[in-house]
Amino acid sequence: MESPHIFLVGMMGSGKSTLGRGLAAALGLPFQDLDEAIEERTQRTIASLFERPGEFGFRACEAQMLRELPTRFARSVIATGGGAPMHFDSMSYMMATGTTAYLRLEMDALAGRLESARAERPLLAKPDWRASTEALLSLRRSVYERSDVIVDTGGQTPADSLKLLVTKLR
């Protein structure tokens, strides 16, 4: 069945933006990135939005943009931010609006990837980022796992993850 939009969900560093671009190209669909759309609209970085108005204000803006993106195209691939499904009942919204795919990566693999990408992520800007990421993952896992499709991206190359994703979503 053709679903209008494909929403990629998962933790920071799970490859939503990179694989999302590849998936969109493979399916011949436009690609939209939620964090990028927020930065474009507000002319601010995600890190500075976390400082002011703060995380709650950021989440409200994120939920609003998540509902705007599907109105821009008839169909598209949308990479969401890691926390988006956790607020304003957005997981249910995405499930009602299209197909959801969880890019699943367990903690060790995730930590390896995040180590080099901490600078632009406010939730990782603390010395105990590994423990807090683990806590976030255990809080989020059951919500992510409501997704229509789950793709395990650990232990394989990005090219193989992309192939798997395309096969499951074509």
CA distance 122 to 70: 26
Site string for ligand S3P, 74-113 (x = CB under 6 A): -------xxx------------------------------
For position 59 contacting ligand S3P by CB under 6 A, the verdict is no
CA distance 96 to 67: 11
Closest approach of Cβ 1 to ligand S3P, in Å?
27
Handedness of CA 6, 145, 22, 118 (dihedral sign): positive
Closest approach of Cβ 97 to ligand S3P, in Å?
19
Residue number, 39 or 152, with CB nearest to ligand S3P:
39
Residue number, 50 or 73, with CB nearest to ligand S3P:
50
Closest approach of Cβ 25 to ligand S3P, in Å?
19
For position 12 contacting ligand S3P by CB under 6 A, the verdict is yes
The site for ligand S3P, by CB under 6 A, has a size of: 10
For position 121 contacting ligand S3P by CB under 6 A, the verdict is yes
For position 122 contacting ligand S3P by CB under 6 A, the verdict is yes
For position 15 contacting ligand S3P by CB under 6 A, the verdict is no
3-state secondary structure labels for all residues of the chain: CCCCEEEEECCCCCCHHHHHHHHHHHHCCCEEEHHHHHHHHHCCCHHHHHHCCCHHHHHHHHHHHHHHHHHHCCCEEEECCCCHHHCCCHHHHHHHHEEEEEEECCHHHHHHHHHCCCCCCHHHCCCCHHHHHHHHHHHHHHHHCCCCEEEECCCCCHHHHHHHHHHHHC
Residue number, 24 or 123, with CB nearest to ligand S3P:
123
**Contact positions toward ligand S3P, by CB under 6 A?**
12, 16, 35, 46, 81-83, 121-123
